[in-house]
Amino acid sequence: MKKIISGVLSVLLALSLVGCGTTKPTSTTTTDSNGKGALIGVAMPTQSLQRWNQDGANMKSQLEAKGYKVDLQYSNNDVNTQVQGIENMITKGCKVLVVASIDGAALTDVLKKAGDNGVKVIAYDRLIMKTSNVDYYATFDNFKVGVIQGQYIEKKLGLKDGKGPFNIELFAGSPDDNNATFFYNGAMSVLQQYIDNGKLVIGSKQKDFTTIAIQGWDSAKAQARMDNLITANYANGKKLDVVLSPNDSLAIGIVASLKNAGYGTADKPFPVLTGQDCDKPNVLAMINNQQSMSIFKDTRTLAAKVVEMVDAILQGKTAETNDTKTYNNGVKVVPSFLCDPVYADKDNYKQILIDSGYYKESDLK
Ligand code: BGC
């Protein structure tokens, strides 16, 4: 009965809006009392990186398996496209929006519209900044991602045993992505002591976040910066021993630059190089000794967590969170669920990536 009433109401709502030129929701979807059948908007930043395609596909299939309808949109890393896409989702009558933002601080106005229409918002992987209209945040522990990268470097180089000095260069992610500072701070929480005691020497002396950040997580920009760093600081046989890269898209650019500079021979092996996402080209780079490690964030786990949040919201319950202190978006602390990141490298990738069913052996050829 409830189902019929809710369906009739939706149709009446849709009819009442015809011809009045309003931007109010025009959904005709039928939902039951648990919200099943509801339309859920999923806004992902770009299809150009493998991880977001996987995130989008997992979200869609897991939501559909639970009986929801899904409006999945990508925005080619363009902020205006994402804003328009979200506006469109609100107009179509989405009940919950799941948003992996491009610029975390650029959604205030459009999410005000969501809030005014009673649409709930979950920030996916990246925190949405400067708005009260975000209900939950689901991500991996971003500080820990950086810590694991820093500890990997520490272990590979034997820094705890006093080995060194080693030549290092540092990269950070996109300044408009709140995660980027967490990755940087996490890694520096391990590495700073070795920079201070001279066991890690930054040839370029470039260390502060804004100087080393790469806008848009762009591989070509990372490659260009690495080219410049090599030309200016590593001429005349001076070798680079380690590069901190926060993720795989930067690592790809860094590897290309290192290759061009003659790294990858017995005399001049690739430096220790970190990454994140375990994108296929990067796993291949690990197998080929060009990249040392990559943080593995199982997007299936994150999607499952977000689907649980959607369920809770639509059933009028409080979703499970495990961090209510860390993620302040400038307006409020957003209740968060942090999943646990791990690392993969040449030694354990089969167990982490293949045995878990994330990739098939044939994917990595
Ligand atoms: C994500 C990373 C990703 C990066 C670039 C970050 O917000 O947490 O997993 O590599 O964006 O897309």
∠ CA 155-217-148 to the nearest 5 degrees? 20
Distance of alpha carbon 354 from alpha carbon 104, whole angstroms:
33
Answer yes or no: is the C-beta of 219 below 6 A from any ligand 1 atom: no
Letter string b/e over residues 334-354, b meaning 16 or more CB atoms within 10 A of that residue's CB: bbbbbbebebbbeeebeebbe
- Ligand 1 mean position, distance from CA 142 (Å): 10
Spatial CA neighbour of 270 closest among 282, 296, 288: 288
Distance of alpha carbon 61 from alpha carbon 337, whole angstroms:
21
What is the DSSP-derived secondary structure letter of residue 128? P
230: which 2 tokens?
């090599």
Spatial CA neighbour of 131 closest among 178, 193, 184: 178
Answer yes or no: is the C-beta of 270 below 6 A from any ligand 1 atom: no
Which of 179, 245, 248, 280 has the most ligand 1 atoms within 8 A of CB, as the residue to mutate?
A: 179
Answer yes or no: is the C-beta of 292 below 6 A from any ligand 1 atom: no
> Residue 12's pLDDT is what?
41
Q: Which residue minimizes the CA distance to atom 3 of ligand 1?
A: 247
In tens, the pLDDT along 233-270 reads 998 889 999 999 999 999 999 999 999 999 999 999 99
What is the DSSP-derived secondary structure letter of residue 137? E
> Residue 36's pLDDT is what?
82
Answer yes or no: is the C-beta of 140 below 6 A from any ligand 1 atom: no
Among 3.30.565.10, 3.40.50.2300, 3.40.30.10, 3.20.20.70, name the CATH number for the domain at 142-297: 3.40.50.2300
Closest atom, ligand 1, to C-alpha of 45: 12
The pTM for the full model equals: 0.91
In tens, the pLDDT along 142-189 reads 999 999 999 999 999 999 999 999 999 999 999 999 999 999 999 999
Positive/negative CA dihedral, 39, 42, 47, 53: negative
> Residue 171's pLDDT is what?
99
Fold equal for 39-134+298-340 and 142-297? yes
Spatial CA neighbour of 167 closest among 133, 138, 206, 225: 206
- Ligand 1 mean position, distance from CA 247 (Å): 7
Q: Which residue minimizes the CA distance to atom 9 of ligand 1?
A: 277
Give the residues of the chain that fall short of pLDDT 70.
Answer: 1-30
- Ligand 1 mean position, distance from CA 14 (Å): 38
Answer yes or no: is the C-beta of 298 below 6 A from any ligand 1 atom: no
In this structure, are residues 100 and 55 in contact, taking their beta carbons and an 8 Å threshold? yes
> Residue 35's pLDDT is what?
80
List CB contacts of 78: < 8 A, sequence separation 6 or more: 102
Give the domain ranges of the chain.
Answer: 39-134+298-340, 142-297
Fold that domain 39-134+298-340 belongs to in CATH: Rossmann fold (3.40.50)
- Ligand 1 mean position, distance from CA 127 (Å): 11
- Ligand 1 mean position, distance from CA 146 (Å): 12
Answer yes or no: is the C-beta of 217 below 6 A from any ligand 1 atom: yes
- Ligand 1 mean position, distance from CA 229 (Å): 24
- Ligand 1 mean position, distance from CA 30 (Å): 35
Answer yes or no: is the C-beta of 128 below 6 A from any ligand 1 atom: no
Answer yes or no: is the C-beta of 345 below 6 A from any ligand 1 atom: no
- Ligand 1 mean position, distance from CA 149 (Å): 14
∠ CA 341-186-189 to the nearest 5 degrees? 135
Identify the three-state secondary structure at position 71: strand
Distance of alpha carbon 249 from alpha carbon 252, whole angstroms:
5
List CB contacts of 355: < 8 A, sequence separation 6 or more: none
List CB contacts of 332: < 8 A, sequence separation 6 or more: 132
Continuous H helices in the chain: 2-17, 50-65, 79-92, 108-116, 142-157, 178-196, 209-212, 219-233, 248-260, 280-287, 299-314, 349
Letter string b/e over residues 7-20, b meaning 16 or more CB atoms within 10 A of that residue's CB: beebeeeeeebeee
57: which 2 tokens?
């596909």
> Residue 2's pLDDT is what?
45
Which of 276, 278, 296 has the most ligand 1 atoms within 8 A of CB, as the residue to mutate?
A: 276
267: phi then psi, degrees, rounded to nearest 5: -75, -30
Closest atom, ligand 1, to C-alpha of 49: 12
